Structure 1
Amino acid sequence: MAIVQNWMPPSRENWELISYYWQFFPILTGVQWLIDWYPQGKTSTESRFNIPGKTGWASMESAGFITLMYIMYTLPRELGIEELPWGNWTMAGCFVIHYINRAVVAPLFLNPSMSPINPLVWVFAFLFQMINAISIGGWLAGYGPTTVYDWAGRAWIMEVGLVIWALGLLGNIFHDDDLREIRRAADRKQRKEAEKTGKAAEGVDKIYMLPKNGLFKYALYAHFFCEWIEWAGFWVVGGWNCHPARTFLLNEIATMLPRSLQGKRWYEKKFGKDKVGSRKAVIPGLI
């Protein structure tokens, strides 16, 4: 059942239109190179309009995998496709696994706290997820490969791509958890102090330290780098002509690269350039 006729799920014409213009998203991210204002996370600002960090993050990030799965189950029926090939479901599974962790498990169950999110950031992130899911979902649900023969002879390439994807996912999870441990350790310390003094714990919403484990020894935003590896593997699974996967990777880099450079300036200002040392912003030894 269509939610919005010809748009959700999209008709081929509308899907091609969305996918084409989605490639130019990096142009919009140009403003991030000009200003450091980014009211979310460590650079969040005080505002009565702010959305609580955990619920805001979960709601804006969940839009992607929910939309993709909706398209996967509805579009084939509209196109008369009885069964999608296993390769399509493999890629959809990779996408959903990533976002179940990123949008549900991490913010709602693992993160000790999250800084509030400005509504503008929430809207842009929500739209990013929706448009990206329509682009990838349309390709996987009927406008890309539709038979097992479309995947024939690509098993070894897919295996390579899945290994790259899995390594990126595990690296992303490891480094995200290392950041969480900073606040978990601070929370444990505060609780011990509270037991001794009888005073309430201050909270760890704005506790930050320089991460030091794993690739954080070489780059402050190693978790971003690992996510890029993950989606590069996703593109390899889909193949060179899987333009939605390619667009997704390039759009993520266009969004996250200036953010990591802004973040490095923030770390240098807060802790000093001598403490940051030779660490790069996002790609070890390079950027």
Structure 2
Amino acid sequence: MTIIAGVLPPSRETWEWACYLFGYFPLITAIQWTIDWYPQGKTSTNSRFNISGKWGWCTMESAGFIALLYIMFTLPSELGLSSLPWGNWTMAGCFVIHYIYRAVLSPLVLNPSMAPMHPLIWLMAFSFQLFNGISIGGWLAGYGPTTDSDWAGRYVYMEVGLVLWAWGLLGNAFHDDDLREIRRAADRKQRAEAEKTGKPLEGVEKVYMIPKNGLFGYVLYAHYLCEWAEWAGFWMVGGWACHPAKTFLVNEIATMLPRALQGKRWYEKKFGKEKLGNRKAVVPGLI
């Protein structure tokens, strides 16, 4: 079913324009290098315009994999393709698995709480995901490889890429859960005190501590580093010619790196540099 003729699913011209424009997304995120205002997560602010952190995260992050799946199931028939190669579906599966975890399970099931976010953050992230879903989805649904022979000769690189993607996903989930445990522990403590004293629960939306397990012993944003490894593996699966996967990785780094550096300054201000030790923001020993 066509939602918007020539746009969803995208015509080749629309897809090429989406890929082209998405390549300039770092210019938008460059403002993060100049200001520390980022009204979401630990740096969220009180605003009457704020929206639920859980539902805001779910809806903005889901746009990409929903768009990708829609395009994968509609565009091939418009292009006269009876089926897509297994490599295309493998990459689509990697993308969807990540975002089922990241966009649905994490905010709605696993996270004890999430700070509210400003609508501007939601809008930027939604736009990021929509452009990303269209660019990667279009490549996988007919504007990239269309036969199994297009993947021939690349199996070793694909296997290595899939291993890197899987370890990145596992590392991402492990470090995410370490952050969750900080709030779960705080919630358990609050509930125990409430049972003894009758005091109402304060909530754990703004409870933060310095994480220490795994790569957190070296960097404050280990989950970012693992996610970059994940999408580097994804690009390796698609190959150098998979420009949408490359753009996705570059845009992720351009968006998340200044955010990590902002976060490091926040940790230093809240806990003091001496408590952080030699931890870097996101790359051990470097950044």
Fold shared per TM-score above 0.5: yes
For residue 241 of structure 2, give the secondary structure of its aligned residue in structure 1: coil
Separation in 2, partners of 1:122, 1:182: 25
For residue 136 of structure 2, give the secondary structure of its aligned residue in structure 1: helix
Partner of 1:15: 15
Q: Give the drift of 1:261.
A: 0.1
Partner of 2:57: 57
Render the CA deviation track for 1:218-243: whole Å, top value 9, x for unaligned: 00001000000000000000001100
Query: Are residues 1:218 and 2:218 paired?
Result: yes
Partner of 2:111: 111
Give, as a single letter, the amino acid of the residue that structure 2 aligns with 1:172.
Answer: N
Partner of 1:273: 273
Q: Give the drift of 1:253.
A: 0.1
Partner of 1:286: 286
Structural mapping, 1:222-261, within 5 Å: 222-261=222-261
Partner of 2:162: 162
Identity percentage of aligned residues: 75
TM-score w.r.t. length of structure 1:
0.99
Q: Give the drift of 1:21.
A: 2.1
Give, as a single letter, the amino acid of the residue that structure 1 aligns with 2:180.
Answer: R
Partner of 2:40: 40
Give, as a single letter, the amino acid of the residue that structure 1 aligns with 2:191.
Answer: R
CA RMSD of superposed structures (Å) = 0.6
Separation in 2, partners of 1:50, 1:68: 28
Separation in 2, partners of 1:67, 1:99: 12
Partner of 2:129: 129
Partner of 2:80: 80
Give, as a single letter, the amino acid of the residue that structure 1 aligns with 2:39.
Answer: P
Partner of 1:68: 68
Larger displacement relative to structure 2 (225-234 or 276-285): 276-285
Q: Give the drift of 1:195.
A: 0.5
Structure 1 runs, 4 residues or longer, greater than 3 Å off: none
Unaligned runs of 5+ in 2: none
Separation in 2, partners of 1:280, 1:205: 25
Give, as a single letter, the amino acid of the residue that structure 2 aligns with 1:209.
Answer: M
Render the CA deviation track for 1:24-66: whole Å, top value 9, x for unaligned: 2111111000000000000000011100110111011111111
Separation in 1, partners of 2:277, 2:200: 36
For residue 136 of structure 1, give the secondary structure of its aligned residue in structure 2: helix
Q: Give the drift of 1:17.
A: 1.3
Q: Give the drift of 1:14.
A: 1.1
Separation in 2, partners of 1:16, 1:131: 11
Query: Are residues 1:178 and 2:188 paired?
Result: no
Separation in 2, partners of 1:194, 1:14: 57
For residue 163 of structure 1, give the secondary structure of its aligned residue in structure 2: helix
Q: Give the drift of 1:3.
A: 0.5
For residue 284 of structure 1, give the secondary structure of its aligned residue in structure 2: coil
Give, as a single letter, the amino acid of the residue that structure 2 aligns with 1:270.
Answer: K
Separation in 2, partners of 1:164, 1:286: 21
Render the CA deviation track for 1:86-115: whole Å, top value 9, x for unaligned: 000000000000000000001000100000
Give, as a single letter, the amino acid of the residue that structure 2 aligns with 1:120.
Answer: L
Unaligned runs of 5+ in 1: none
For residue 46 of structure 1, give the secondary structure of its aligned residue in structure 2: coil
Give, as a single letter, the amino acid of the residue that structure 2 aligns with 1:170.
Answer: L
Q: Give the drift of 1:189.
A: 0.5
- Paired residues, number: 287
Q: Give the drift of 1:175.
A: 0.3
Partner of 2:198: 198
Partner of 1:2: 2
